[in-house]
Structure 1
Amino acid sequence: MRSKPKTNEYDSYYVNYIAALPDQDIVNLLEEQAEETVQTVQDLTEQQALFKYGPEKWSIKEVIGHLTDTEQIMAFRLLSIARGEKGILPGFDENAYVQHAFFDRQPLSDLIQQFQNVRQSTKLLIKSMEEEPWTRSGNANGSDVTVRAIAYIIAGHEKHHLGILKERYFGSENFPKQ
């Protein structure tokens, strides 16, 4: 089992993401989380998937798209650092990415399929890695981070947003019933 990263392996911004995760095999955790996320959103209507719990907040479709975009970026960072990249990997503006992606124009089923495909790719990448690169460190967005930490950041990020979906979206008195 590959254990959770130590706090010196990632930027303090991610402390709560990683602390909220169980100390279990990351591939199994990512698999379980993806199943929960898909089960949570797969039966929504298109109208429900467009719901925003407040002004200037993302729709449910945009949250799913954001999860996918972020995982793709994090998986690229994971791959790059695992393969020995020495350059600083760039950050990204999550709000600009969502704004320019037009997720609300895409069918919910397509967004879910893309999320599942990206997750499958991430799991296969992690499973293919030997132990040695697991603790390799690089720099992403100006902060040092290990390969192991990135894998757990992916899981922590998803857990964070799944909690928001359940609490603020589905828990809203304005959430459409159908």
Structure 2
Amino acid sequence: MLKKPEINEYPPYYKEYVNNVPDGELLQILDDQQKETKELLKDLSEETAEYQYAPGKWTIKEVIGHITDTERIMCYRLLSIARGEKGMLPGYTDDDYVKRGQFNRFSQSDLLHHQALVRQHTILLLSSLDEEAMRQRGNANGSEVTALAIAYIIAGHEIHHRRLIKDRYLRETLSNSYNDLKG
């Protein structure tokens, strides 16, 4: 069983993500949370999936695209560091990636399918790595990080965004639907 990374294994700005991850078997947590995200979003209409809770904020589709793109990037970093890469791995600007991803042109179902495939890849990669590989340190986006910490960041990142979807998107859309019924 993988143990949560120590605070010195990742940059401080990832602390929330690492702390979001519950105790337990990480591979099972990753598998379960992907199913939970799919369950949360599977019945949304396409209109609701393109809802923005405020001007300039991402739609739910864009959030799912962002989660998937981030996991792809983090998996590359995890693999590189686990294999002993010593060069600095580049950062990325998530707003630019979301804009270029044009996620609103995809169906919600397709986006969730992409996310599930990426998650399967993540789980397969993690299950192939031994303890030594997971403890490898590398440099991503100008900061030192372990492969293990990246695995926890992936899990915590999805949890973070699922909470935002519940709190800022779904609660608001349910409230608007209720007000429409009253009105």
Q: TM-score range by the shorter chain?
A: over 0.9
- Matched letter for residue 158 of structure 2: E
Aligned to 1:57, the other structure's residue is in SS state coil
- Matched letter for residue 98 of structure 1: V
Q: Distance in 1 between matches of 2:19 and 2:110?
A: 31
Structure of higher CA gyration radius: 2
- Residue in structure 2 matched with residue 121 of structure 1 by the alignment: 121
Q: Distance in 2 between matches of 1:20 and 1:119?
A: 18
Unaligned runs of 5+ in 1: none
- Matched letter for residue 66 of structure 2: H
Instruction: Map Cα deviations across residues 118-154 of structure 1 (whole Å, 9 max, x no partner).
Output: 0000000000111111110000000000000000000
- Residue in structure 1 matched with residue 19 of structure 2 by the alignment: 19
Is 1:99 the counterpart of 2:93? The answer is no
Unaligned runs of 5+ in 2: none
Aligned to 1:97, the other structure's residue is in SS state helix
TM-score, with structure 1 as normaliser: 0.97
Q: Greater share of helix residues, 1 or 2? A: 2
More displaced stretch, 11-20 vs 158-167: 11-20
Q: Distance in 2 between matches of 1:27 and 1:158?
A: 14
- Residue in structure 2 matched with residue 110 of structure 1 by the alignment: 110
- Residue in structure 2 matched with residue 29 of structure 1 by the alignment: 29
- Residue in structure 2 matched with residue 150 of structure 1 by the alignment: 150
TM-score, with structure 2 as normaliser: 0.94
Q: Which structure 1 residue ranges, 4+ long, deviate > 2 Å from structure 2?
A: 173-177
Q: CA deviation at 1:109?
A: 1.0
Structural mapping, 1:1-178, within 5 Å:
1-172=1-172, 173-174=175-176
Q: CA deviation at 1:28?
A: 0.6
- Matched letter for residue 109 of structure 2: S
Instruction: Map Cα deviations across residues 45-89 of structure 1 (whole Å, 9 max, x no partner).
Output: 111100111111000000000000000000000000001101000
Percent identical = 51
- Cα 1:175/1:158, change in 2 over 3 Å: farther
Q: Distance in 1 between matches of 2:71 and 2:136?
A: 19
